[in-house]
Amino acid sequence: MSNFISRIIGFFTGEGFKRYLKTLKYSLYMILHPFDGSWDLIHEGRGSMAAAHTIVILALLTRLWDMRFANFMVNNTRWSEVNIIKELASVLVPLFIWVLANWCLTTLMDGKGRFKDIYMATAYSFTPYVLIGIPMIFVSNVVTLEEGVFYTYFNIFSLIWCVFLILCAMMMIHDYGLLKGLGSSILSVAGMAIIIFVVLLFFSLISDAVAYFISLYKEITLRAS
């Protein structure tokens, strides 16, 4: 038992955990210095996947907490109609498709970033959403309806900040100039649309095919009997 506890303590005091904390803390530097920060994040190894995962999870939690705890004046969530899996997917799926589309595209456009790097940089860019979103949940509960615009504006501001960070990060990790960075990001969005379209097409074809074989099977069994 004592061995177990000491292992836990060892984990939290060990080098690995220290590095994790350091990389997590680096997100604060990165959001204030988008260009240098993004460059160092990837090329100088200042970030870690663990920290990236943490930020994504925090962003997901922020979204859920916002739906649950923000004051009803600014929060129109009807909990009887909410599906948490869907809510989480509505963040995670676009994130994954974005990373995929961007990686596919930048591979063709001489981008330096790897799949992992794109994910890490995007995840780090979610930091403002977490940092502003969580305090705003508290703020929403101590403001009146008229002051509620602060909540709205700050949240919008945080999202704009996130988008800006993503754009900067894409430029830096792929070692692009301004135009190419922006262009690749816009093309990535188009790529996302294409991926979604292909996936939907694929699913509908598959379901048709499956339905065909099921009816074929039924027909045969009915004839046979």
Partner 1 sequence: MKKRIITLLILLCLVVTGVPSADASDDWYTYTYNYWGDETASPDAYSVTNVFYGRNFGDEVGTFNDAEGMFVIEDLVYICDTKNNRIVELQYNQGSFELIRIIYTLNVSLKNKDMMDPYELVDLSTDEKPNYKVWMQGENEIVLTLKSPYDIHVVKMSPEKREKMYGSDHLGEKYIPPVPVVEPDDDVTDTPEDGEAADTSATTSDSEDSADGDSDTEEPGEGEGEGEGEGEAEAEKEAPKVLENVIKKDLDRDYDIFIADTENHRIIHCDYNLNVIGVVQHPEDETLKEDYEFLPSKFVVDDVGRYYVQAKNINAGLMEFNKAGEFTTYVGASPVTVSLIQRLWRRIQTKEQWKRSKQYVPTEYNNVALDSEGFLYVTTSTLTEAELTSHNGKPVRKLNAMGQDILIRNGSSFPIGDVVWGDTEQVSGASAFVDVTVFENETYCCLDKTRGKIFCYDFQGNLLYAFGNYGMNAGCFANPVAIDRLDEQTLIVLDKKCGTLTIFAMSNFGKLIKEALDLYRIGHYDDSAVVWRDVLKYNGNYDLAYVGVGRALLRQEKYKEAMDMFEVVRDGTNYSKAFKKYREQQVEKHIVLFIIIIAVLFVVPKVIRTIIRLRKEIKEA
Q: In this complex, which beta carbon is closest to partner 1, that of residue 78 or of residue 86?
A: 78
Residues 66-71: contacts with CB under 8 Å, at least 24 apart: 66/133, 66/136, 66/137, 69/137, 69/141, 70/136, 70/137, 70/140, 70/141, 70/151, 71/140, 71/141, 71/143, 71/148
CB of 83 to partner 1, least distance (A): 17
CB of 139 to partner 1, least distance (A): 13
Write phi, then psi, for 112 (nearest 5 degrees): -85, -20
Q: In this complex, which beta carbon is closest to partner 1, that of residue 143 or of residue 182?
A: 143
CB of 76 to partner 1, least distance (A): 9
Q: In this complex, which beta carbon is closest to partner 1, that of residue 148 or of residue 183?
A: 148
DSSP strands (E only) in 51-135:
none
How wide is the angle at C-alpha 100 spanned by C-alphas 97 and 106, nearest 5°? 135
Q: In this complex, which beta carbon is closest to partner 1, that of residue 4 or of residue 72?
A: 72
Which residue do the tokens 């994954």 mark? 96
Contacts with partner 1, residue ranges (CB under 8 A)? 72-73, 78, 142, 144-146, 148
Q: In this complex, which beta carbon is closest to partner 1, that of residue 3 or of residue 146?
A: 146
**How many whole angstroms from its chain centre is CA 167?**
14
CB of 148 to partner 1, least distance (A): 8
202 Cβ partners below 8 Å, 6+ apart?
none
CB of 42 to partner 1, least distance (A): 33
